Amino acid sequence: MIVRRNFLYLSILFFIFLFLATNYQRSESSLKQLEQEVVAAAVAAKVGVYQGDTAVNIQLLNAHGELVNLKDLRGKKVLINFFATWCAPCQEEMPILVDLDLRINNEKFVILGVNVTKEEPNPNQVREFIRHYQVEYDVLYDGEGKVMKDYQLIGIPTTIFIDDKGKIVKRLNGMLTMDMVDNDPFFK
- pLDDT tens sequence across 68-122: 999 999 999 999 999 999 999 999 999 999 999 999 987 899 999 999 999 999 9
The full set of domain ranges for the chain reads: 1-44, 48-187
Topology annotation, domain 48-187: Glutaredoxin (3.40.30)
Among the listed residues 177, 116, 102, the one whose alpha carbon sits nearest the alpha carbon of residue 149: 116
SS (H, E, C) the chain: CHHHHHHHHHHHHHHHHHHHHHHHHHHHHHHHHHHHHHHHHHHHCCEECCCCCEECCCEEEECCCCEEEHHHHCCCEEEEEEECCCCHHHHHHHHHHHHHHHHCCCCCEEEEEEECHHHCCCCCHHHHHHHHCCCCCEEEECCCCHHHHHCCCCCCCEEEEECCCCEEEEEEECCCCHHHHHHCHHHC
Tell me the sheet residues that pair with 62. 140
- pLDDT tens sequence across 117-140: 999 999 889 999 999 999 999 999
pLDDT at 21: 63
Percent of the chain with pLDDT over 70: 77
pLDDT at 187: 86
The whole-angstrom separation of Cα 29 and Cα 139 is: 52
CB 126 within 8 A of CB 117: yes
Please state the pTM of the whole predicted model.
0.76
